[in-house]
Amino acid sequence: MVAEGIQGSFDELGRPLHTTAFVVVDLETTGGSSVTEAITEIGAVKVRGGEVLSELQTLVNPGAPIPALISVLTGITDHMVASAPRIGSVLPAFLDLLADGAVVVAHNAPFDVGFLRAACQREGYRWPDPEVLDTARLARRVLTRDEAPDCKLSTLARVFRTSVQPTHRALDDARATVEVLHRLIERVGHIGVQSLEELRTYSSRVTPEQRAKRHLAANLPNAPGVYLFRDGRGRVLYVGTSRDVRTRVRQYFVASEHRTRMAEMVGIAEKVDAIECAHALEASVRELRLIAEHRPRYNRKSKSPERVLWLKLTDEPFPRLSMVRDRRQDGCAYLGPFSSRRAAESALDALHEAFPIRRCTQRLSPKRTSPSCALAGMGRCVAPCEHPDQQSEYADVVAGVHTALTLSPVVVQDSMLDRIDGYATTLRYEEAAVARDRLAGYVRALARQQRLRALADVAELVAASPAPVGGWDIAVIRHGRLAASARVAHGAAVRPHLPGLLATAEVVTPGDGPTPCATQEEMELLLRWLETAGTRIVDITGTWVLPVDGAARARGELDVAREAADPFVDRRGLRPVARLVV
């Protein structure tokens, strides 16, 4: 079957290489560190479409002696730079070359760009943060080891037979880099690499068949959204999300995909659909729902959100803790959800350490006795099997467990901390670490459950977060489920948009449990967004509260203890705070 040719649009091409200006730069320095060493020479060549537009070459007085080894390597001596200008006088001429948005090109670009950025910072000039292309990195992607044993500039100049050979002088090395750049562009140009974006992401590991599929991204939006790869029968192979759907999908066809499964998926894909979203939050939520709906074979996360675990306090004459898959509306106390059995077992062990509740699985009767197990002899179970007439004593234990599952972690926390101190005092540090991990697992689970429950109890919450491009991202959340979303333009008031948004929002019916209307993953995603710096509550119906002595406080204490090892880290957010216009 012959693939049909499709004419790409200029917008699809991105930034065409033949109209892009490149400033190829090379530096000579007194050493390898941009913090402690200085520039001794700058050479730069500005080119566009293969034509040299201008050149810059100047020695620079570093303000310090040049090491003898550097002088031997470059031929630049203290005498040569004695009358040369200082870097502060040279930078304006170099920065003028970048004024029209030119791309900086260098061989081992992090070295040269690092020195230039550091020099601008020291001299009080604003570094324009241009796009950077590294010819060494590009050569590693284009050339095979048989063609070039390494990607040194001298090796590439020899491979491409450049007219200018590198000499460890700035202008000669910059001119040689220009020729290497042009040869690399020629090498990939015949297989369809025509834009700067394609050149930056090029890899020889991308097959011609894979690159030929880039037209599948032609009609996708340059906006936040969800994309779905489909096979020839329309089945969903993979679901992803991006702030710029078209750009992200194109990367699958023009960049190297290190994940073997994804490369295989791209080879099978015949179509890509997109769902444009108001903002990134909506896109992330839709991604979770679509993965759960279609269960794509190439998605690893969120395929089975219903496969979670709960700890349940059973409803029987002598209740016990049980690990179950479903949370039913049976009036029992639950803790969860847990995404893994290991996490559930960790919390269960912490509860068993704190309370002498029975662990046996048989159903006990208050009318007859049965032999007790070893735990009763160790004092770790009140043995209702031996003393069925003492129901009140066991009921007190059950009441404590019920509180620990739903409200307060104090009893478990105190018990486990005492145990940890005892282990540490007797130098049993490994056992102390196990007890610490059990406590942390339990506290995290209870804190998560209380946070989810609090959000699920809110009938309606409207929040706004500053959009990356200005304006506000709006979300309507009902009982922990995203019901509607929108973006308000920069400078516009939020409240006039609410009536229409609320009228078209999804109707959500409340239910029982911490996650009655949405998956745990969706609710945690919404909570992280609500807790992002700058997010504001516009309107709320109901109350959004957490228990005063709940697990949030205990988790905060554990986090403080963990961070105490590095008390001087400044974690304050320093971003400007946007003003919400309602």
What DSSP character marks residue 15? S
Residues 6+ apart with CB under 8 A from 137: 109
Helix (H) or strand (E) holding 401: helix 391-406
Q: Backbone dihedral region of 470: left (phi > 0), alpha (psi from -120 to 50 degrees) or beta?
A: left
Cα–Cα distance measured from residue 153 to residue 579, given in angstroms and rounded to the nearest whole number: 51
Listed residue (189, 188, 74, 206) closest to 142, CA to CA: 188
Cα–Cα distance measured from residue 48 to residue 177, given in angstroms and rounded to the nearest whole number: 14
Distances (CA, A) of 575 to 204, 533, 537, 572, 582: 40, 9, 19, 9, 21
What DSSP character marks residue 569? -
DSSP codes, 145-174: TTT-SS--HHHHHHHHT-SS---SSHHHHH
CB 376 within 8 A of CB 356: no
Cα–Cα distance measured from residue 319 to residue 316, given in angstroms and rounded to the nearest whole number: 5
CB 227 within 8 A of CB 277: no
CB atoms within 10 A of CB 30: 21
Listed residue (39, 52, 27) closest to 163, CA to CA: 52
CB 327 within 8 A of CB 309: no
Helix (H) or strand (E) holding 185: helix 170-189
Cα–Cα distance measured from residue 244 to residue 82, given in angstroms and rounded to the nearest whole number: 52
DSSP codes, 350-386: HHHHHS------SPP-TT------HHHHTTS---TTT
Task: Decide: helix, strand or coil at residue 282.
Answer: helix
Cα–Cα distance measured from residue 90 to residue 59, given in angstroms and rounded to the nearest whole number: 9
What DSSP character marks residue 483? E
Q: Which of 79, 107, 168, 387 is catalytic?
A: 168
Structure tokens at 27: 């530096």
Pairing of strands 236-242, 225-230: antiparallel
Cis amide prior to 337 (ω within 30 degrees): yes
Question: Whole-angstrom distance between the N-terminal and C-terminal Cα of the chain?
Answer: 58
What DSSP character marks residue 554? H
Cα–Cα distance measured from residue 496 to residue 47, given in angstroms and rounded to the nearest whole number: 51
Phi, psi of 123 (to 5 degrees): -95, 0
For this structure, is 168 an active site residue?
yes
So which residues are the catalytic ones?
168
